[in-house]
Structure formats: C-alpha cells, structure tokens
Amino acid sequence: MMADVYRNWRGDLVKEELFNWHTMLMAGNRHLDVIGAYRRHEDAMQIVSGRLDKPTIHFEAPASCRLAQEMEHFDAWFNQSRPNGQLQLPALTRAAIGHLYFESIHPFEDGNGRIGRALAEKSLAQNVGQPSLISLAFTIEKHRKAYYLELERHQRSLDIDGWVAYFSQTILEAQQATIDRTAFFIRKAKFYDQFRGRLSGRQEKVVARIFREGIAGFKGGLSAENYISITGVSRATAIRDLQQLVEIGAFRRTGERRYTRYTLRLHD
C-alpha cells in the first residue's frame, strides 16, 4: 500500500484509490463483510472500550448510509486544499486536518488508522513535491496512547487547534526518527564492513542480537550475563570474547566488575 502511495502521490484523491488501498491491507481477512469498499452495516460504527455489559463509547462515526456523501466531501476538500488548489493549506496543517477528518468519518470496517496515515503521507508528498518517506506509523505507534487520547479529545470538539499542533509535532518527530534510523543503518553497514571476517560465530550472533534492539541497543548496555544467555558459553569464554571485541575496537567497555557493560562502537 505504501509503495502505491509513493508511486501515485501526485494524483487527486478518488474513492477507487482508497478502495485499492483497503483491498491491499485486508486481503485474506475473513472477518470483514466488506473489503475494498465503504462499510455497509446498519449498526453504528463506535469506538468503545471497557466491559461488554458497560462499555465506554469514545466516538461514534457517521452512519453507513451517509458515507458516500461524507467521503465525496472529504475527497473534494483533500483535492482543493493541495498546492494551487482553491483551499490551499500549509503542509502540516493540511496533513493534520486531513487525518482527523478521515478518522472521524471512519469509512471502513477496519484499517482506517493505516489508511489515514497513508493519506497524511500523500498529503505531505503533494505539499513538499516528493514522497516524504517519514516514519509516521512508527512514531504514532511508539506513542500510541497519547495519539488515541488526542484523537478522541478533538473528535468531540470543533476547536482543533490543539490537534493541529499535536499532529504537526508528531510529523516533525517522525521526520527526525527517519533521519536517525537512516543514520543508524549506515553506521551498521560500516560496522559490518569494518569487522567482516574478524568475528567468531558467537560474536557475530551477539552483535546481530544487539542490532535487533535498534538505535537504543541493549538498555543499560550488554553484560557478560547477556552474552552467556545469547551464546550458551561459559563465563570464562564470554569474558574472553568480550575482551577481544574491545581490543579490536568493535565494543566499548564501561564500568567495573559486576557493573561492567559493553556497547557497540559505531562511527558516523
């Protein structure tokens, strides 16, 4: 779906594009009555939590019978608010309002969040003039609770200044996260280039495990106990392996005795 967003970001938004995205997302899902089209059920589309016998209703979307009209208005607004449109809006403002607008209509049985984020990226690409490739979904998921609290709060009010500020900041954080992650992958590639053929199988296994933790690495650093747990070697072998990694410049050591920790030595 995101590949399609990046290929076709220039075009106006039409319902067929949304239907295509939904089909891509929900292919093989046997729990939905409708895939590749707006929801049709007569029951109210509600976002709820809590006990089944006493649920808390956070939000109720427009009824299915109103979706065609609501989405026709949304598509028109989206296309008119793009650069050189009749209602042209700044990049962050347009992406923020568009996301809240779409999520409030909630046109599909499932997948509205992912499609709403895709729309934000299409919106940004049109304003910037190229796909932005930001980690928007990653950033929202990282602060999932705050996102849903802000979404619920501003779906109850016509004053959305706070939402625009929140979502704009989220987009900027996503941009920085993308820069940081890209730099991390570059440093990772340089590390493997530098130490290719110089690590034992055990050491390669531990290095790969640390890289899987991402930018933050092991919280507090890798300990000898971590090394033993990952490789299954004796403590003496673990200490010897770790010392060798420090000597060749692959690891950095901090602390003493039981507080000794090891981190990857990555270079820009």
User: Residue 209's domain is classified under what CATH number?
Assistant: 1.10.10
Residues 214 and 161 in one domain: no
Alpha helices in 135-160 (DSSP H): 136-142, 144-155
Q: How many domains does the chain have?
A: 2
Give pTM, 2 decimals: 0.81
Confirm whether 117 is domain-assigned.
yes
Could you tell me if 163 and 154 are in contact, meaning their C-beta atoms sit under 8 angstroms apart? yes
Confirm whether 240 is domain-assigned.
yes
- CATH number for position 138: 1.10.3290.10
Confirm whether 59 is domain-assigned.
yes
Confirm whether 189 is domain-assigned.
no
Residues 43 and 10 in one domain: yes
Residues 168 and 210 in one domain: no
CA distances from 232 to 147, 227, 246, 259, 264 (A): 41, 8, 20, 21, 20
Could you tell me if 4 and 23 are in contact, meaning their C-beta atoms sit under 8 angstroms apart? no
Residues 41 and 159 in one domain: yes
Residue 39: its pLDDT value, please?
Answer: 94
Q: Where are the beta strands (DSSP E) in the chain?
A: 46-50, 55-60, 251-254, 261-264
pLDDT tens sequence across 174-223 = 999 999 999 999 999 999 999 999 999 999 999 999 999 988 888 889 99
Residues 142 and 59 in one domain: yes
Residue 47: its pLDDT value, please?
Answer: 74
Residues 26 and 147 in one domain: yes
Residues 214 and 137 in one domain: no
Residues 133 and 89 in one domain: yes
Confirm whether 86 is domain-assigned.
yes
Could you tell me if 63 and 44 are in contact, meaning their C-beta atoms sit under 8 angstroms apart? yes
> Tens-digit pLDDT profile for the chain (268 aa)?
999 999 999 999 999 999 999 999 998 888 888 999 999 988 878 777 777 777 777 778 899 999 999 999 999 999 999 999 999 999 999 999 999 999 999 999 999 999 999 999 999 999 999 998 888 988 999 898 999 899 988 988 889 999 999 999 999 999 999 999 999 999 999 999 999 999 999 999 999 999 999 888 888 899 999 999 999 999 999 999 999 999 999 999 999 988 999 999 998 7
Residues 144 and 68 in one domain: yes
Residues 219 and 145 in one domain: no
In terms of residue numbers, what domain contains 210?
197-264
Cα–Cα dist 155/15, whole Å: 23
Closest CA to 70 of 22, 29, 103: 103
Residues 203 and 161 in one domain: no
Residues 171 and 59 in one domain: yes
CA distances from 186 to 45, 136, 182, 218 (A): 45, 21, 6, 19
Confirm whether 191 is domain-assigned.
no
| DSSP assignment letter at 175 | H
